[in-house]
Amino acid sequence: MFRHKLYRLDLKASPYLYVAPFFVLFLAVGMFPLVYTAWVSMHDWTLVEESHTWIGFTNYTELLKDEYFWNALSNTLQILVLSSVPQLLMAIGLAHILNMRLKGSTFWRMSVLLPNITSVVAVAIIFGQLFGRDFGLINWVLGLFDLGHIDWRTGEASSVFAISVMINWRWTGYNALIYLAAMQAVPKDLYDAASLDGATSFQQLRRITIPAIRPTIIFTVIVSTIGGMQVLAEPLVFGVGSMTGGADRQFQTIALYLYELGFSRFDFGYASAAAWMMFVIILIAAGVNYLFTRRMRGAE
Amino acid sequence: MKPRKRTYLFLSVVALLSLFPFYYSIVVASHDNSVLGQVPPPLTLGGNLMNNLERAFGEDVHMVQGLINSLLASSVITFSQVFFATLAGFAFAKLKWRGKNAVLLFIIATMMVPTQLAVIPLFILMSNYELVGTLPAVIIPFLVSAFGVFFMTQYLTTAVPTELIEAARADGCTTIRIFWHVVLPAARPAAAVLGILTFLSAWNEFFWPLVVMNAENPTVQTVLSNLSSGRVADVSLILTGATIAIVPLIIVFSLLGKHIIGGIMQGAVKS
C-alpha cells in the first residue's frame, strides 16, 4: 500500500518538481523585471532620489513629445530596413548555392557562419576601423576608383549605412544556414522534374524553393525584425562610446537612447517608459512584417 | 543541382569576405600606430604583435581580469542553463501534468521580449543587494533561458521513445531514475550543442555587463568597449584587444563548428 502511494506521489509531483527550479528562476530574473519596469515607468524615479512619486502615464506622454525619441526610432527603422532586407535576400541566394552538391560542404558552411560567432563589440571595432575617415581601408579603396572620400560617422545616411553593413555581414551566413535547413526538407524529385523541363537554377529557386520554405522565411523575418529593433553595440562602438550616437544623434538607435536615459541621465522612470514603448514597437513591427510576408504568399 | 566552377569561385569570394575583417584585425594588431596613417594602409602582417600583446595585457587594461571573469561567468551560465533546461525539457516533453501546454507556450512567447526591457529593474535589484560591479551580477540574470527549455523540449520529444519510459515505469523505476538513466544519456548530444551556443552567447553578451560591471572588474566585452572609447585612439592596441577576444572563439569554432552548424540547422527545422 505504502509503495503504491509513493508511486502515485512520484507520478503526480515529479513534473512540477522538475519544472520548478527553472520556473522559479525564470519568474525572478525574466518575468519580474518586466512588471517592475512597468511599475518604475509610472513614477518620477531617478537614481539619486530616495522617494518616487506616482505620475501615471506622464513619462509616456512626455516620450511621445520627445524629438530625440522620434529621431532614434527613425534611425532604428532605417537600420532595420537596410540590414534585414539585403541580409535575408542574400541569405536565400547563399542557401540556394550551399544546397548544391558541393565538395567540402562543411568548410563552406563554417566560413559563412564565422562572422556570426564572434563578439559584436569586436566586429564593430574592426568595421569602425575599416570605415575610418582618414586611414580607413574602405575610403582608400573608394579613392582608388575616384569615388570620393566619405566621412562615414558624420552624415546620417553614411553612418546608418555603415552600421547596416556590419549587421548584414554578421547575420547573412546565419540566416543562410536556417534557410539551408529548410531547403533540405524540400523533396529532391521536384527539382529533377523541373530540370527535365529545362528550368534554370534561378527559376527553380523562385518557383519551387521559395514557396516551399515560406514558413521559415516568415520566421526569419520576425526574428531579424526583433533583433534589428534592439541594435545597440554597433552604434555605440561605431560612435567611439558616444551614448548619443554621434554629435547630432545621427545614428542613435532606440536601445542606445534607452541606455543614455538610464545610465547617463539616470532617469530610471523615463527610461523604463522608453523600454516598454520599445517593446510595443517591436510587437507592432513584428506583426506588420508577419502580415506583409503572409500577404506575399497570397499574391503568388 | 551540380555546382559549376564559378559557383566555387563565388563561394571563395564569400569566404574571403567572411575572413577578411578578422585578418585585418590581426594585421593592425601586428603594427604600431605610426604605420597606420600610411597610404596605402598596411595589408600584410607587421612585427609589432608581441609588443602590442604586452600592452594589451598590461595592468591598466584589465584584460586578464576580463578574460577570467568572462570564462567563469560563461561556464556557470552554460552549466546552469543546460541543466535546468534538460530537467524542464524532460517534464515538458515526456511527463503528463496539468497546464503543461499553456506554460510552454507562455515561455516561448517570452522569447520575443527584448533584453533591454529588464535592464533597469535588474540594475535597481543588483544595487539593492550591493551586487553592482561583482561577478554574480553578470551571472544571475542568465541562469535560465526560455530558448534552452524550448530547444531541449523539442529534442527530447523525439529522442526518447515514450514506450521506453513506460517500460521503465513498469519495471518499478522512479521518475528520477528514469531521468538519470534514460533521459540524460539520450539528451547528451543536444545538451552539448545547447552548451556551445549558450557559452558563445554568454561570452559575447555586452549590454548588461556594460551596465553593471566597471573598468576594474570587467568582462572581455567591456574591456574592449573601454579600450575603444578611450580618449586617445590607440588603434593598434584596440585591435589587439579585439584580436584577443576573437581568437578563443575562432579556436572553439574550428574544433566544434560542425556541431554548432548542426545545432543551428536542427533548431531551424523544428521551430
The residue-averaged pLDDT of B138-155 equals 92
Mutate to test the interface with B, among A121, A144, A224 (most CBs of B within 10 A): A121
Q: Chain A closest CA to B97's CA: distance in Å?
A: 7
Contact A117 B260 (CB under 8 A): yes
Contact B117 A275 (CB under 8 A): yes
Using alpha carbons, select from B149, B177, B155, B150 the residue that is nearest to residue B165.
B177
Question: Is pLDDT at A299 greater than 70 in this prediction?
Answer: no
Q: Which three cell numbers stand for residue B151?
A: 530547444
- For chain A, domains (ranges, CATH) are 2-41 (no CATH), 59-299 (1.10.3720.10)
Mutate to test the interface with B, among A125, A135, A222, A226 (most CBs of B within 10 A): A125
The 10s digit of each residue's pLDDT in A10-48 is 888 889 999 998 989 888 888 888 899 999 999 999 887
Contact B228 A121 (CB under 8 A): yes
What letter represents residue B154's amino acid?
A: Q
The 10s digit of each residue's pLDDT in A256-269 is 999 999 999 999 99
- Find the residue in B nearest to A115 (Cα): B18
Helices (H), A153-232: 156-183, 188-196, 201-204, 210-212, 214-228
Contact B235 A102 (CB under 8 A): no
The 10s digit of each residue's pLDDT in B102-115 is 999 888 888 878 88
The 10s digit of each residue's pLDDT in B22-41 is 999 999 999 988 877 777 78
d(CA A139, CA A123): 18
d(CA B222, CA A88): 30
pLDDT value for A147: 84
pLDDT value for B268: 61
- For chain B, domains (ranges, CATH) are 72-220 (1.10.3720.10)
Measured between CB atoms, which of A7, A111, A201 is closest to B18?
A: A111
| Residue A23, SS3 per DSSP | helix
- Kindly provide the b/e burial profile for residues B205-242, where b requires at least 16 CB atoms within 10 angstroms of the residue's own CB: bbbbbbbbbeeebbbbbbbbbbbbeeeeebbbbbbbbb
Q: Chain A closest CA to B86's CA: distance in Å?
A: 9
Contact A178 B265 (CB under 8 A): yes
* B241 contacts B223 by C-beta, under 8 angstroms: yes
* Complex ipTM tops 0.95: no
- Find the residue in B nearest to A284 (Cα): B112
Mutate to test the interface with A, among B39, B116, B244 (most CBs of A within 10 A): B116
- Find the residue in A nearest to B222 (Cα): A121
